[in-house]
Amino acid sequence: MNFIDELKFDEKGLIPVVTQDFENNQVLMLAYANREAVEMTVEKGTVHYFSRSRNELWHKGETSGHFQHVKEMFYDCDADALLIKVIQDGAACHTGKRSCFYRNIKGEEVL
Amino acid sequence: MNFIDELKFDEKGLIPVVTQDFENNQVLMLAYANREAVEMTVEKGTVHYFSRSRNELWHKGETSGHFQHVKEMFYDCDADALLIKVIQDGAACHTGKRSCFYRNIKGEEVL
């Protein structure tokens, strides 16, 4: 059975994806995928998401060149979240930061 | 300004939380918090979530003893996701596994 058939997509057809640096385990970003995005990620070997703001398939890196090359993929105990370990070209964040989680709760930029 | 005022909770009042092991950077779980859960996490120093299945505040570890002690908290560029680094007592997963992401997409239990 294909793992995609086990995944629980939400009422919008989405599943959250945590993307992690394969080399140093830094959490790079959290975004969402629909079924097509998961299929494309597996097929192409680079991470695809579903952009909720643009309402379309989003091949990460297509405009920035900052592709995410899949090394390992996991799903959680409830099958309602994905974890993808990647080799990150350039920066994961659109701000140019390596990780989107660059601010701590004091508002300090720590990365 | 309190960082909580900057967070973007979704239409259900929730924000996804990625919980990561402070010591080895393993991603332990993904769950959701509402505003109260974030406030309690900051106030108590142990991670609180909102249980979508039970529809109530969920103090992780309250029944299992597997508390998550907050070391660092971050929010992402869009302020719609949290990353919390913790010292994990026992296992993060209700299955007894250290991490909820113990299966790879081949269905193999890898952790």
Structure tokens at B84: 């919390």
Chain A residues lying within 8 Å of B106, measured CB to CB: 3
CA distance B14 to chain A (A): 13
Subunit contact B29:A101, Cβ cutoff 8 A: no
Chain A residues lying within 8 Å of B16, measured CB to CB: 16, 30
Q: Would the CA dihedral through B57, B62, B68, B71 be positive or negative?
A: positive
Looking at residue A110, its pLDDT comes to 86
**Residue among B19, B21, B30 with most chain A CBs within 10 A, to mutate:** B30
Looking at residue A1, its pLDDT comes to 62
pLDDT tens for residues B60-85?
A: 999 999 999 999 999 999 999 999 99
Do the Cβ atoms of B70 and B63 come closer than 8 Å? no
Distance CA B38, CA A105 (A): 11
Residues of chain A with pLDDT under 70: 1
pLDDT tens for residues B16-40?
A: 999 999 999 999 999 999 999 999 9
Looking at residue A107, its pLDDT comes to 84
What would the mean pLDDT of B43-72 be, rounded to a whole number? 97
Which of left, alpha, beta for A102 (phi over 0: left; psi -120 to 50: alpha)? Answer: alpha
Chain centroid offset of residue B92 CA: 9
Looking at residue A55, its pLDDT comes to 97
Statement: residue B110 has pLDDT above 90: no
CA distance A100 to chain B (A): 5
Do the Cβ atoms of A39 and A106 come closer than 8 Å? no
User: CA nearest B26 in A: which residue?
Assistant: A25
Mean residue pLDDT across chain B: 96
What is the number of CB-based contacts under 8 A between chain A and chain B? 89
Q: Mark out chain A residues that contact chain B at CB-CB < 8 A.
A: 1, 3, 16, 18, 20, 24-27, 29-30, 42, 72-78, 81, 83, 93-95, 97, 100-107, 110
ipTM of the complex: 0.96
Chain B residues lying within 8 Å of A93, measured CB to CB: 77
Chain B residues lying within 8 Å of A58, measured CB to CB: none
The amino acid occupying position B53 is S
Instruction: Work out the number of other CB atoms within 10 angstroms of the CB of residue B65.
Output: 8
